[in-house]
Structure 1
Amino acid sequence: MSGGDIAGLIAAGVFAVLVAIIAVPLVKLGKVFDETTLAIRDVSKGVAPILEESTTTIQEANKQLARVDVITSNVAEVTGNVNSLVALFAASLGGPLIAIASFGERCGRRCEAHTPSMTTLQTALTARCVTQRRSPSVTRATATIRARARRPRRPAGPSIDDP
């Protein structure tokens, strides 16, 4: 064997070691690709039922939305009917009710005008005491006036607050 042959053998050995060193990462990379392929298969097997379920859910949601659309149109129709009914009520009964309310208010004001005030009661009591030649008792007169002023005034007709 000559020196060139030995150098060729050494070079061949170094090349074989280099190929072996490079082959190890390539084998590991191949295993990574195999695992990735298996993971993609598992995911695709799991995605298919999820897509079927989501399709079913979307179809059911569309059915419910169609029902809600029908309900919404019915509510709009009822709202229009109620609006018409309120307008009819206001047109037919609103005017007479306003007239009755204003009549009651006028009657109340006239009743208040004919009810004596506290100063009128005081003057009448003092005048009676003077004509009877008695000295008016301030305590009794004041008590009488206060008692009359405390009496609750009742309205002529039924009140809005009455049940």
Structure 2
Amino acid sequence: MEEKELEVKKDEVVSEAPQEVDWEIKYVRLQAEFENFRQRLRREKEEWQEIANARLLKEIVDIMDNFYLALESIKHNRKKDAIIEGVQMIYKQFENLLQKEGVTKIDALGKPFDPSVHEAVGIEEIEDGEDNLIVKEIAPGYLFKNRLLRPAKVIVSKKIEKGGRE
């Protein structure tokens, strides 16, 4: 009986070995499928970014055409008001484009200094008023969909003691 039992056990071991190989093959295949999936997602993400960039760039090119027309107008027309009006229109186009894309201007003037959205580029001493208020905006700051795109470059107030200077 022992020989018969050994043969049965041997058959069990032999029958289990292919199953282990099957799991290894399945694991390797799954890894390859996952890697292919990741590469496909990366390619699709790049394609979507290119489409979005192309759409935005087309709108910028349209605005550039208007700049060109304004420059041509300057060459032939010496009317200052017409030139100013043309440049203001182009500026407004850029503002509208940025707004449409989710870019908003940070309101800084007169607000308390906040290092998370403001970059202090100078200090202005004042006798009356509060400390750490923004008194001048050198360059506006912008948020892109509520994330900081660029901090506002500002000059901050510093209250001086009235008795401190003689």
The answer to whether TM tops 0.5 is: no
Computing the radius of gyration over CA atoms, which structure comes out larger, 1 or 2? 1
TM-score, structure 1 as length reference? 0.31
TM-score, structure 2 as length reference? 0.30
Between Structure 1 and Structure 2, the one with more strand by share is 2
